[in-house]
Structure 1
Amino acid sequence: MFAADRASRSLGIELLEQGHGTAVLRMTVTESMVNGHGMAHGGYLFLFADTAFACACNSRGPVTVASGADVTFVAPAREGDVLTATAREVTRFGRSGIYDVSVVRGETVIAEFRGRSRSVRSTSNQEPQ
């Protein structure tokens, strides 16, 4: 799935590891990701965490999409910061799942994300049902 994710890859996001229900990604905050306060725009941080979530929840095979997500921003990220997003499956039930993603700069937590997923009954080449 990540190989076909043009949006994430165009931002320089790299998939470092992927396992059953897990994923680790890396992204460097670029000049174009910084808002008027000199900090990484929250939308880019959300996209980064959401990409890690997508890699983790699609790691088992069925096409899986987000049914909801929320993020808590803990500390600012700045231009040049190298961030790591680590996603892990909390639980799966039926076609649904819950995943947590931590975005960090070194040992500093930047954001905590919780995603809710839903597997769809289509193939990757069809519209989700």
Structure 2
Amino acid sequence: MNISISSDPQTIAENCADVIWAEDKTSRMLGITRDSVGPGTAAVSMIVGDEMVNGLDMAHGGLMFTLADVAFALACNTRNSIAVGNFCSVQFLRPASRGDRLTATAKESLLDGRNGIYDVTITDQSGRRIVEFRGHSKIVPGTHLAAASGDPAAAEV
């Protein structure tokens, strides 16, 4: 996908998310939906299906981690720089159940040079906190969006 860069931070965030989302087959397979995105933020959600529970009949921790990771990836890639996960930690606060709608909301806590820190909270449909995730990102060479020809702002990215 080749989208020209805008000077509006919200538009840049949405366009970068469009590029990433277009190739995210795992999210589609799991039924994850992209709810919102903005500079340094993102929210995604999924419903815990029958095939998403573990042997204890609770939402599988790996799938909740995946949901948080998707929100983290979108949030840290909202400024037209390619960012990858460098480290993360996850704390499972309480179980989620079959049929629960889980929403992962990512917020940038720090962006300093090539390093970012993002906090992601997963809540259920009642607003109860289920998971806390902290992701550290590293900006690597490259961009998501193509510079429009003759656009001096694009050259600064």
RMSD: 1.0
Q: Which has the higher helix share?
A: 2
Letter in 2 for 1:72: Q
Contact 2:116 2:136 in 1 (8 A): yes
Q: How does 1:102-113 map to 2 (within 5 A)?
A: 102-105=121-124, 106-113=126-133
1:3 deviates by 2.2
**Stretches of 4+ moved more than 6 A in 1?**
none
Mapped pair 1:94 → 2:75: no
Q: Any idea what SS the aligned residue of 1:67 has?
A: strand
Q: Percent identity?
A: 48
**Larger strand share, 1 or 2:** 1
Distance 1:62 1:9 in 2: 24
Q: What is the rounded CA distance, in whole Å, between the counterparts of 2:143 and 2:44 in structure 1? A: 25
TM (normalized to structure 2)? Answer: 0.77
1:50 to 53, 69, 79: 69
What is the CA-CA distance between 1:122 and the residue it aligns to?
3.1
Q: How does 1:1-129 map to 2 (within 5 A)?
A: 1-105=20-124, 106-123=126-143
- Residue 109 of structure 1: how far off its partner (Å): 0.5
Give, in whole Å, the separation in 1 of the partners of 2:143 and 2:63: 28
Q: Please, what TM-score do these two structures have when normalized by structure 1?
A: 0.93
Over alpha carbons, which structure has the higher Rg?
Answer: 2
The separation in 1 between residues aligned to 2:28 and 2:89, in whole angstroms, is: 22
- Runs (5+) with no aligned partner, structure 1: 125-129
One-letter amino acid matched to 1:100: D
Pairwise CA distance, 1:123: 4.7
- Determine the C-alpha separation between the residues in 2 that align with 1:41 and 1:55: 22
1:7-49 Cα deviation digits (max 9, x unpaired): 1121000001000000011110011110000001100000000
